[in-house]
Amino acid sequence: MATETGTKKINIGVIGVGVGGLEIIRTAVQSPDTINLVAGCDNVPLTRERFKERFPDANVYATAEEICKDPNVDAVYIASPNRFHAEHTITAARNGKHVLIEKPMAINLKETEQMVEECAKAGVKLVCAHTASFGLPYRVMRKVIESGEIGDLKAITLLAYTDWMMRPRTPDELDFAQGGGVPFRQGPHQLDSLRLLGGGMMTQVWARVGWWMPERNIPGYYTATFDFANGAFATATHNGYGYFNLGDINAPPTGRQSVEGLVDIRKEMRAGTRDEDAAKQDLRIGGDTEVKQFEAAKTEGPGRGNFGRQIQREVGDRRGLNDTGDPGTIIVTCERGDMRIGANGVLIYGDNGVREVTGVSDVDARGEIHEMYEAVINNAPVYHSGEWGMATAEAIFGMVESSQTGKVVQLTHQVPVHPEYDSELRVVDL
Ligand SMILES: NC(=O)c1ccc[n+]([C@@H]2O[C@H](COP(=O)([O-])OP(=O)(O)OC[C@H]3O[C@@H](n4cnc5c(N)ncnc54)[C@H](O)[C@@H]3O)[C@@H](O)[C@H]2O)c1
């Protein structure tokens, strides 16, 4: 292993230096004690140049095969387009590299099985980096459910209204066969979070996928109901069409995501005048927006994962719904109480009224990187393992199948939450 002697760092290479790849780029500058970003791979020359400017000491490659042969790389963060997730994971495994895979894990169940098999055969770690479910609010809610304080989990409602369909997209993102659209791209955030809260074991799904915008020939909506083996059920909805944004309730977005900004984007789309390549490039490494975000990330730190996002209020102030970004807003219903995300923590409404709690943990919002680090350096268990990711992927594929067939789809590849997950997390009153 290419960790530096005595310093215990993990050497990471990123495959696909696009918008998703920035997750590891930002984490690397925020976590210099644990991560060395030693290599980057992208098939676009300009992106490679910009990566080299940002990280002059890193090696730069044009193909996954090359970066996976770099002896200095311990693990790869795969953020290439969805259709390459399986191929790049398998290439990494065959070259002895550990893998952090972006969501969605892959675009069909067979691919996810192959990824799990190849990583197991090669003896490398596979962490499914479905970023939203690592957020502290979900982790705190899971702990409260586990504690039994408000009784058994009964139901979960997760609701997102976003501008996902209005954001700049590449041709592969606008192709359903390549994993384009809201179910594949946003489903992992919501369904992984639901599985975490519900114990992991979904049994069946009924869903409707909506696909109705001529300018964007991919599904932009879904609503789905899942049953869990423990008797709980959950409903998840994501509307990405960008007319009403959930954020508009409390903290109306500014700029391109504002109602006015989205009106302009829609007009440009319809007129065929939108420069989508330039808009996407702006978000990638070296783009104006990305540079600002990167500078901010250097001082901000990884954050706590959605507590207090956009709304800064006093503890106990319960006005409005907190906007938790793309995964939406969540209400968890137990036998003797409800939970939702407040301004600073989780609000628990129980028999004795309402209180606000938070979590104390060594693991920040970049839990997936922490998980890989602990697994590689300290041989800790991988909680968001290939099997876990496969189960979330199955729920997404099941959702699409249910909508296509009109039937309830049985889920057969589910796995429970690892019993030791988050054992160090403590829930405390605010
Ligand atoms: N977790 C998150 O919040 C998040 C956010 C955005 C994207 N993503 C994920 O990241 C992935 C990419 O999406 P994106 O929005 O970053 O798109 P993108 O187009 O910005 O990034 C993909 C990058 O991969 C490169 N690439 C394409 N083919 C390649 C190949 N064969 N080998 C190496 N590099 C290749 C492209 O040039 C591009 O730079 C998707 O799977 C998406 O779901 C995750």
Q: How far is CA 238 from CA 17, 89, 94, 160, in A?
A: 27, 28, 37, 5
Q: Which ligand 1 atom is at minimum distance from the Cα of 84?
A: 31
- How many A from CA of 377 to the centre of ligand 1? 27
Q: How far away, in angstroms, is 42 Cα from ligand 1 center? A: 9
* Cα-to-centroid distance, 351 and ligand 1 (Å): 47
Q: Which of 203, 214, 237 is nearest to 403 (CA)?
A: 237
Strands ordered across the beta sheet of 126-129: 59-61, 35-41, 10-15, 75-78, 98-102, 126-129
pLDDT value at residue 8: 87
Cα of 84 to ligand 1 centre, how many Å?
9
- Crossing angle (nearest 10°) for helices 288-300 and 276-283: 20
Pocket test for ligand 1, best of 15, 41, 61, 102 (most atoms within 8 A of CB): 102
| Number of Cβ atoms within 10 Å of the Cβ of 50 | 21
* CATH number of the domain located at residue range(s) 10-132+364-384 in this protein: 3.40.50.720
Classified as helix, coil or strand, 252 is coil
Return the ligand 1 atom nearest residue 19 CA.
Answer: 16
Range(s) within the chain of domains with CATH label 3.30.360.10: 135-362+398-429
Substitution candidate for ligand 1 out of 51, 76, 80, 91 with most atoms within 8 A of CB: 80
Atom of ligand 1 at shortest range from CA of 62: 33
Tell me the average confidence (pLDDT) per consecutive run of 10 residues in the chain, 430 residues long. Answer: 62 97 89 92 98 97 98 98 98 98 97 98 94 88 97 97 96 96 97 97 98 96 98 98 89 87 96 95 96 88 63 78 82 97 91 95 85 94 97 98 98 97 95
Cα 173 to middle of ligand 1, angstroms: 9
Q: What is the pLDDT at residue 5?
A: 44
pLDDT of the residue at 356: 94
* Atom 33 of ligand 1, residue of closest alpha carbon: 42
Ligand 1 atom with minimal separation from the 284 CA:
20
Closest residue (by CA) to atom 25 of ligand 1?
16
Please tell me the distance from the alpha carbon of residue 344 to that of residue 331, in angstroms, as a whole number: 16
Give 102 Cα–ligand 1 centroid separation in angstroms.
Answer: 9
Q: Could you count the other beta carbons within 10 Å of the beta carbon of residue 193?
A: 29
SS (H, E, C) 328-385: CEEEEEECCEEEEECCCCEEEEECCEEEEEEEECCCCCCHHHHHHHHHHHHCCCCCCC
Range(s) within the chain of domains with CATH label 3.40.50.720: 10-132+364-384
Ligand 1 centre and the CA of 219: distance in Å?
A: 19
Q: Tell me if 427 sits within 8 A of 147, measured CB to CB.
A: yes
Nearest alpha carbon, ligand 1 atom 44: 20
DSSP state letter for 143: H
**Residue owning the nearest CA to atom 6 of ligand 1:** 20
The position carrying tokens 């009224």 is 353
From CA 319, how far away is CA 323, in angstroms rounded? 12
Class of domain 135-362+398-429: alpha beta
CA of 160 relative to ligand 1 center, distance in Å: 23
**Distance between Cα 170 and ligand 1 center (Å):** 10
**Ligand 1 atom closest to Cα of residue 172:** 19
Cβ neighbors of 407 (< 8 A, separation 6 or more) are 206
Q: Whose CA is nearest to atom 41 of ligand 1?
A: 82
Give the model's pLDDT for residue 310: 55
Ligand 1 center from residue 105 Cα (angstroms): 13
Residue located via tokens 């065929």: 272
Cα 65 to averaged position of ligand 1 atoms, centre (Å): 17
Ligand 1 site, CB within 6 A: 15-20, 23, 41-44, 47, 64, 79-82, 84, 102-103, 131, 170, 185, 284
